[in-house]
Structure 1
Amino acid sequence: MKKGIGILLLGLLLLLAACGSNEKNAETSNEKMMIQLDEKNVAADANDIFTVTGKTTPSATVSIGDVSIDANKKGKFELMHVYESDKSYEVVASKKGMTEVRATVHVTQPTAIKEEKKEQEEAAKEKAEKEVTENAKPNAAKITFAMLSGNPDKYARESYYLKGQIAEVVDGGATKYLKVNMTQAGDTWKDTVMVIYTGTTDAKKGDIIEVYGTIYGTYAFDDANGTTITMPGITASSINVVE
């Protein structure tokens, strides 16, 4: 009799334990992901960084694109991301075994910051162009075509100047490719380099031009027969048609 009562009690305990476990599992499965942003409109700073803060499911992972952080045990998070442009970014909260949730934050950069950055960029561009112009002719006097042709890569990124006749113009859309003969020999021109220019120019075949820029290094391309041709390349910052 005592044995039967013991078995009955053991069965009852197992049943209660199973019910408790089922209740706990049900409780866990009913938990839902959540995400709440402190601000839905945020501003990017002068370093092109914006910060999104808020609250989500404790220890969930919060991400924008491929940048992510883990929320703390209370669910609070602070995520920093690179500002790309004025637009909306999707904030995703996820956790293993649960359905992810999303929120949207709209990011802008104050006009004053944009204008200041534009002024800085223009000033830097003017400084770089001035340095190219000042150093181009002295470098050209030291770096002859023979030296340039012998090892173009040795002089890569050096400021350079040349005056020559256009042998061919290839329109690559935003970028123009000009084969220029840079050495005058009587009434003819020789010693070809490839001038690479991003911008607009009226220069055409037969024109005599002045070029300020930097040495690209070895420029390689395939001709109509599929043969690879190499020659010195010059990245032009300015082109002026002189005749």
Structure 2
Amino acid sequence: MTRSILFDTETTGLDPDTGDRVIEIAALELVNDLRTGNYFHVLVNPERDIPPEATKVHGITLADLEGKPLFADIADEFLAFIGDGKMIAHNAPFDFKFINAELKRAGREPLDYESRAIDTVIMARKKFPGMPANLDALCRRFGIDLSERGTHNALLDCRLLADVYVELIGGRQRGLGLSNDRQQSSTSGGVRKRKAVTGRKARPMPPPDEATLARHAEFLNSLSDPIWLKE
């Protein structure tokens, strides 16, 4: 079993080196490259303003973050959820840079990009050279429903990217996840876990009774010259 984490962030701007901060984090657990239904999602108080141009992208205002935790308050929970597996992101350098800046500010060790990052932008450009590699374009290419996507939303973007990622690595029949994505139960702190779904054991089919065999024989006799009765 291979566990990995697909994640996305929304931020106040484009560069943590100039003071921009994370305001939303979403992360989905994948096992053998398919969603399990376990996820981490939290809105974060950035301790600064949110420029209007950033709000146009993700739709989040400072009022939306009133009373939300600081990154330092959720850092350990986030690290516990992601564990030590690979981390998948669309334009991974951007998200890793922001997460590592927040971890450093909170006094935690940064994530190692070289050993952990999988960038789906790079994957898409290798698979479709010269073609658009943004998330919307990839969803349209693979026939993934975009009807719920307006402004950027980290959790929705993760769910879309999970479907895109499966297609980029070769595609798998949809619906073959570990269990039904709609069957979930929530826990505290922004982490939700899906209930396990148990399958039923197949029962052997009983042999036909005499009446069924007689009706079958009667049906065969009603056919004209069936090939399976020829020698």
Q: TM-score, normalised by structure 2?
A: 0.24
Q: TM-score, normalised by structure 1?
A: 0.23
Indicate the structure with greater strand content: 1
Indicate the structure with greater helix content: 2
Asked which structure has the greater RCO (Cα within 8 Å, sep 6+), the reply is 2
